[in-house]
Amino acid sequence: MPAFTVRNRATEPAADPGQGAGGTAPTVPITDGWQLPGSRTRKVLLGAFIGYFLLVPAITGLVQHATPATVFITVGTVAFTGIVGWRVILRDRPGLHGVPWAWLVVLVALAVAVFVVGHGPGWLIILAVAAAACGRFTVTIRPAAFGAVTCGGASLIVTAQRARVVDAGSVALLIIVPAMAAFLTYASTKRNETMAELRQTRAELAQVAVAGERLRIARDLHDLLGQSLSLITLKAELSRRMLDTDTTSAAREMAELEAVARQSLSDVREAVAGYRQPDLVAELGAARQLLTAAGLTCQISTPAGLSLPGDVDTVLAWTVREGITNVVRHARATCATITVTTVTTFTTADGGGRVTAEITDNGTGPLAGPAGSGLAGLSERVRQLGGNLMAGPAPAGGFRLQVTIPVRGGPP
């Protein structure tokens, strides 16, 4: 029977917490796109804003004065609005697959051309929209900087050439409006992306928690039912053999069998509900009863007045349960020994100690291998507390299961 060791989690790669009892990880749909509540409403409002401040003046100017300039402004504005809607507004995450620099250059060029032909500060809005469209691509900050610098510089140069003299207030307006549009859009989009990622992460964590709870229930049911069903089987066989020769003893065994079955049912219900955690003292008593019913000699040794932290006590109780279940099922032994020892050590930084539970037998039969679900579940519990698990042939023959767990903050 080969030995194996489970070491501290700090030195071992942790198991995938997303794997369920069947060994498959839960699937969480991860899509390229994302949507926050109200995003459709924001798109409609944004489209209405652009249509009102760009298309309406352009079409109105064309209707009132059909000149080459107004035709160019109308056509350019319609093309600009179409590109913005197609490449920016209708996409939930426009920069997911990179920055379409060619389209951004076209947008900025159209905006500058319309601003130049428009001959009015009212068309500064198209430069602000172009800068904001650049700010929607948040893979890097370079698109926002490109939109702010290009649109702000173009507005300042064109205005300076026409007016010859530009006051400080106008200079600030021409520079600040495109820059604010670009970087406010960039910050808003970054915030929405972060919120969407947090929502998706929360959904993934919920799936992992469900998988972990499913694994815990499967592991607890295995540990609970393994020993209980072994005891029920033994008592049923003993009752059947006694039924013809000693009806009184057979009736007593059947009454105990009924009690064990009822307790097992209660344990399963509590384990599924997440309320029950085994107790070391109770498990030692149950182990003595199971070994005695199986016809094995049992020796149990524990320190007087043993008091352990709840999580350590629970893991040691699972250790006793798993070890004794394997002895009864597989070992073909005549004697089993359970030893619980504590050691105080002040060499560690926190001056704690360690507690060890050891189950040995003198059997010759094979134990369930290291890949068995019982020892695998137990090793996971031990590893979570930073302990060690060793299972393998004992030096004097038979099999040995040993679990050592550190106890922080003082002697146990």
By CB atoms closer than 10 A (0-12, 13-18, 19+), residue 80 is buried
- Please indicate, yes or no, if residue 7 is contained in any of the structural domains: no
Q: Give the CA distances from residue 136 to residues 36, 104, 185, 404, in Å, rounded to whole numbers and listed in that order.
A: 16, 11, 6, 56
300 and 164 share one domain: no
Q: Which of 177, 203, 229 is the last residue of a domain?
A: 203
Which pLDDT does position 182 carry in this prediction?
92
Helices 101-118, 142-163: crossing angle, 10 deg rounding: 20
Q: Which of 145, 168, 203 is the last residue of a domain?
A: 203
- Please indicate, yes or no, if residue 312 is contained in any of the structural domains: yes
Which pLDDT does position 370 carry in this prediction?
39
Q: Is 401 helix (H, G, I), strand (E, B) or coil?
A: strand
- Please indicate, yes or no, if residue 16 is contained in any of the structural domains: no
46 and 184 share one domain: yes
298 and 183 share one domain: no
199 and 312 share one domain: no
| Rounded distance between C-alpha atoms, residue 252 and residue 364, angstroms | 32
- Please indicate, yes or no, if residue 83 is contained in any of the structural domains: yes
Q: Can you give the residue range of the structural domain that contains 99?
A: 39-203
Instruction: Assign residue 359 the CATH number of its domain.
Output: 3.30.565.10
- Please indicate, yes or no, if residue 229 is contained in any of the structural domains: no
Q: Is the pLDDT of residue 178 over 80?
A: yes
Q: Is the pLDDT of residue 363 over 50?
A: yes
Q: Which of 203, 226, 248 is the last residue of a domain?
A: 203
Q: Give the closest residue to 223 by CA, choosing from 333, 326, 339.
A: 326
Q: What is the mean pLDDT of residues 102-116?
A: 90
For the chain, the first-to-last Cα distance in angstroms comes to 33
The residue assigned the tokens 């702000």 is 152
43 and 192 share one domain: yes
- Total number of domains in the chain: 2
| Rounded distance between C-alpha atoms, residue 129 and residue 259, angstroms | 78
What are 272-295's pLDDT values in tens digits?
655 556 788 888 888 888 888 888
Q: Is the pLDDT of residue 149 over 90?
A: yes
Which pLDDT does position 366 carry in this prediction?
59
Which pLDDT does position 402 carry in this prediction?
92
66 and 177 share one domain: yes
Which pLDDT does position 31 carry in this prediction?
43
- Please indicate, yes or no, if residue 252 is contained in any of the structural domains: no
Contact 133, 107 (CB under 8 A): yes
* Tokens at 404, concatenated: 């050592």
Which pLDDT does position 19 carry in this prediction?
41
